[in-house]
Homo-oligomer: A and B are copies of this chain.
Amino acid sequence: MTLHDIGEKRLLLWLGKYFPGMERGVIVSNTHDAAVVRVSGNVAIKTDTMVITKSIPGITPEHIGYKAGVAVLSDFAAIGATPKYATLSISAPRKMTFSDFRLVCSGVRRSLARANVLVVGGDLSEASDLSVSISLIGKGSQRSMTRSGSKPGDLIAVSRPFGLEPYGLKVLAERLPRGPLEREAVRRFLFPKPELTYGKLLSTLDFVHACTDSSDGLLISIDNLLNRSLDASLEHLPAAGALLKSGMDKETVASLVSSGGEEYVLVFSYDQRRDSELVRALRKVGRRRIVVGRFVNGRGIVRDAARKGKPVDIRGWRQFES
């Protein structure tokens, strides 16, 4: 049965039941023209759209829905906000099966439910590609982190190692044979974790100066934290241990770690004098920080400390380019 067979009206009725959305704080929900919810204090808002222009074996509609949810949750993590409600806008070809459509919704529901987010509205459109757009609103933290605010001397750190997630994508796209490393990498790629708790903790520490999430790769994330009077000195690639132990050649590992993307790790800067304070605060929630470099006076360039400060070629995922 296709979306064309079922038609918009019945799909919307089905969606209204699938995402009930009438719970705490919801005043008007998703079977009406717009939703009304209660949010106290500052309101955080973000939209993220995932468009599927080509299919990759092993990536099901459920994974697509799941990852679309994680992508926008991860943006909230980067500013330290608490997500509460979402609207879901799905565009799909009319010949898409209802069973695939339901899988997309199931993926969205699974990822948003992990963060206790209620879907309170949305819409459906016909399109050539499958596209899942999620808008999140929630509570801004007391002190919202942004991409700007880094200072010369700040350390640059990440919330967990890089590289496995893009390797998972490579395994799927190139149909590589799967050992334990490949299976783990694929799992990480298909079900990435947003760093909501980590981000909220960082936002309580006034010596954390800037933060972003790394969906487009480590180097692009560091570049996003730069301004015209700062350079970043990259001193350490935070490669996942499993990759280092795998016997994979060094260059491939470096490329996955620096430019692979898909990790949804937090990349942030903070006052180097408060490092031990940060480590203690993170230890309390069972986490750590991996220092990858530092900001210095400069003019907006990422430099490789191991190569005498040579500018690094910023690669990674960019829309319209890759």
Q: Are A127 and B53 in contact (CB under 8 A)?
A: yes
Q: Are B49 and A38 in contact (CB under 8 A)?
A: no
Query: Which residues of B have CB within 8 Å of A44?
Result: 28, 34-36
A43 to B131, CA, bound (A): 26
Instruction: Encode contact with B along A219-263: 1 for CB under 8 Å, 0 otherwise.
Output: 000000000000000000000000000000000000000000000
* Given known contacts A127-B51, A320-B11, A147 and B33 CB-to-CB distance under 8 angstroms: yes
A81 to B127, CA, bound (A): 29
Of all chain B residues, which has the CB nearest A120?
B45
Residue A189 is within 8 A (CB to CB) of chain B in the complex: no
Question: Which of the listed residues A32, A53, A212 has the most CB atoms from chain B within 10 Å of its own CB?
Answer: A32
Near B by CB (< 8 A), chain A positions 113-166 give 120-129, 131, 133, 135-137, 140, 144, 146-148
Give the copy number: 2
Choice from B42, B79, B127, B320 contacting A94 with Cβ under 8 Å: B320
Instruction: Encode contact with B along A22-42: 1 for CB under 8 Å, 0 otherwise.
Output: 000001100111111111001
Q: Are B144 and A28 in contact (CB under 8 A)?
A: yes
Query: Which residues of B have CB within 8 Å of A46?
Result: 33-35, 87, 121
Choice from B36, B51, B140 contacting A43 with Cβ under 8 Å: B36
* Given known contacts A45-B87, A320-B4, A320-B6, A36 and B79 CB-to-CB distance under 8 angstroms: yes
Q: Are B126 and A51 in contact (CB under 8 A)?
A: yes
A37 to B45, CA, bound (A): 8
A43 to B216, CA, bound (A): 31
Expressed in whole angstroms, the minimum distance between the Cβ of A159 and any Cβ of chain B is 14
Of all chain B residues, which has the CB nearest A146?
B32
Q: Are B43 and A126 in contact (CB under 8 A)?
A: no
* Given known contacts A131-B125, A133-B49, A320-B3, A43 and B33 CB-to-CB distance under 8 angstroms: no
Of all chain B residues, which has the CB nearest A37?
B43
A125 to B79, CA, bound (A): 22
Question: Which of the listed residues A7, A35, A144 has the most CB atoms from chain B within 10 Å of its own CB?
Answer: A35
**Which 5 pairs across A and B sit closest by C-beta, in order of nearness?**
A34-B46, A33-B78, A135-B135, A36-B140, A128-B128
Could you give 15 example pairs across A and B, Cβ below 8 Å?
A: A3-B320, A6-B320, A7-B318, A32-B79, A33-B212, A35-B44, A37-B43, A39-B43, A45-B87, A47-B121, A49-B89, A126-B320, A127-B129, A135-B135, A137-B137
